[in-house]
Amino acid sequence: MTLLNRAYNVAILGATGAVGTELLALLAERNFPVSQLKLLASPRSAGQTLAFRGQPIQVEAVAEGVFDDVDLVLASAGGSISKIWAPKAVAAGAIVIDNSSSFRLDPAVPLIVPEVNPEAVLQHEGIIANPNCTTILMSVAIWPLHQVQPIQRIVAATYQSASGAGARAMEELKVQAQAILDGKTPPTECFPYPLAFNLFPHNSDLDENGYCTEEMKMIQETRKIFGVPDLRVSATCVRVPVLRAHSEALNLEFKQPFEVEGARRLLANAPGIKLVEDWEQNYFPMPMDASGKDEVLVGRVRQDLSHPCGLELWLSGDQIRKGAALNAIQIAELLAFRGLIKPSRAELVH
């Protein structure tokens, strides 16, 4: 994608977190046109120094007036922070791409996966929502099939790594593993139970219907992104002792049978996907292979033996990268490419 000849004043809100540092790296890696960069976080993180394109930038505490000269905000500081500061950034003239769940189901806020619904950027009123990580990975993987033959029903089981709960959770998993190996009681601060050598249903709040918040995100967000309000979706989300990258087992039901080899060809040629299948070696997508990668690794595509119109597939994708930071940067690239970031505030590049 060739961006227009402008450079923008960009702020990362939540710059010191796992997704924030990945946003910083991706801005440089993908050569996003940044004129000035602000790194914002809580007061306790203010004063830290992070590098961008070889230059040190000091982290500032988010405060009134900090967005006055900002064109684009990449927010990944949590829902409570976004609810306070995203509207203020918009009032100051910036566009906000928010990684929290605060605005995802707001009818006035587009929820975007660029490989699926890029045209939705035209509908924004200042805030664009970045979907949940498991929703993003699933959407990228199944959209090519849905375009050929609309999906009638999705049954998903997720295997979610510690990275979904942030950098501290990843470190806690390491500490827990060592503690257990040393015969000690593993500490539990980020998670309610030990994750090392263990797994448990996702630790988000349970709804009255028996589904947890994470599962309901997958259901509701997929319907919104696909533009199918009555799409039948069920999910079971599980925390597993993996540092980084989520995996998902998906069962897809179509109205008519979907030829397996045709599905493989579609997936192999779809944007954002890498087909990984070695049937002789029983080698399919794994979190270790997906970590640090942009693509969603998809494989083990097969006929559902219990239903003539069903397909099964497996995926692994980097939760911090495509499941969060990369998707946000791709949305920013869409905005820049379409000239939707206010040019009056941007610096022309000669």
- CATH number of the domain at 281, please: 3.30.360.10
What backbone torsions phi and psi does residue 345 show, to the nearest 5 degrees? -105, -5
Q: Which residues are catalytic?
A: 133, 246
Please tell me whether residues 219 and 151 are part of one structural domain: yes
| pLDDT given at position 270 | 98
| pLDDT given at position 269 | 98
Please tell me whether residues 143 and 216 are part of one structural domain: yes
Mean pLDDT, range 184-204, rounded to an integer: 96
Whether the predicted pLDDT of 4 surpasses 90: no
- With respect to residue 1, please indicate whether it lies within any of the assigned structural domains: no
Please tell me whether residues 178 and 304 are part of one structural domain: yes
Instruction: Quote the CA–CA distance of 287 and 160 in Å, as a whole number.
Output: 10
| pLDDT given at position 216 | 97
Whether the predicted pLDDT of 306 surpasses 70: yes
| pLDDT given at position 342 | 79
- With respect to residue 228, please indicate whether it lies within any of the assigned structural domains: yes
Share of the chain above pLDDT 70, in %: 96
Whether the predicted pLDDT of 207 surpasses 80: yes
Q: 108, exposed or middle or buried, with CB in 10 Å at 0-12, 13-18, 19+?
A: exposed
Q: Tens digit of pLDDT for each residue in 286-298?
A: 999 999 999 999 9
Q: Average per-residue pLDDT in the chain? A: 95
Whether the predicted pLDDT of 169 surpasses 80: yes
Please tell me whether residues 147 and 292 are part of one structural domain: yes
Q: What length does the chain have?
A: 350
Please tell me whether residues 221 and 282 are part of one structural domain: yes
Please tell me whether residues 269 and 158 are part of one structural domain: yes
**Among candidate residues 65, 81, 73, the one with its CA nearest the CA of residue 126:** 73
- CATH number of the domain at 89, please: 3.40.50.720
**Among candidate residues 122, 35, 78, the one with its CA nearest the CA of residue 343:** 35
- For residue 240, what are its two tokens? 């597993």
The pLDDT confidence band at residue 346, using thresholds 50, 70 and 90, is very low
Please tell me whether residues 158 and 279 are part of one structural domain: yes
- With respect to residue 343, please indicate whether it lies within any of the assigned structural domains: yes
- With respect to residue 36, please indicate whether it lies within any of the assigned structural domains: yes
Mean pLDDT, range 189-213, rounded to an integer: 95
Count the domains in the chain: 2
Please tell me whether residues 52 and 197 are part of one structural domain: no
| pLDDT given at position 344 | 47
- With respect to residue 175, please indicate whether it lies within any of the assigned structural domains: yes
Q: 5, exposed or middle or buried, with CB in 10 Å at 0-12, 13-18, 19+?
A: exposed
The pLDDT confidence band at residue 223, using thresholds 50, 70 and 90, is very high
**Among candidate residues 319, 192, 184, 180, the one with its CA nearest the CA of residue 243:** 319
pTM: 0.94
Please tell me whether residues 77 and 106 are part of one structural domain: yes
| pLDDT given at position 347 | 54
Please tell me whether residues 111 and 20 are part of one structural domain: yes
Structural domain range at position 272 = 135-319
- With respect to residue 14, please indicate whether it lies within any of the assigned structural domains: yes
Instruction: Quote the CA–CA distance of 7 and 345 in Å, as a whole number.
Output: 9
The pLDDT confidence band at residue 350, using thresholds 50, 70 and 90, is very low
- With respect to residue 48, please indicate whether it lies within any of the assigned structural domains: yes
Please tell me whether residues 234 and 145 are part of one structural domain: yes
Please tell me whether residues 255 and 294 are part of one structural domain: yes
| pLDDT given at position 89 | 97
Share of the chain above pLDDT 90, in %: 94
- With respect to residue 31, please indicate whether it lies within any of the assigned structural domains: yes
Q: Tens digit of pLDDT for each residue in 5-63?
A: 789 999 999 999 999 999 999 999 999 999 999 999 999 899 999 999 999 999 999 99
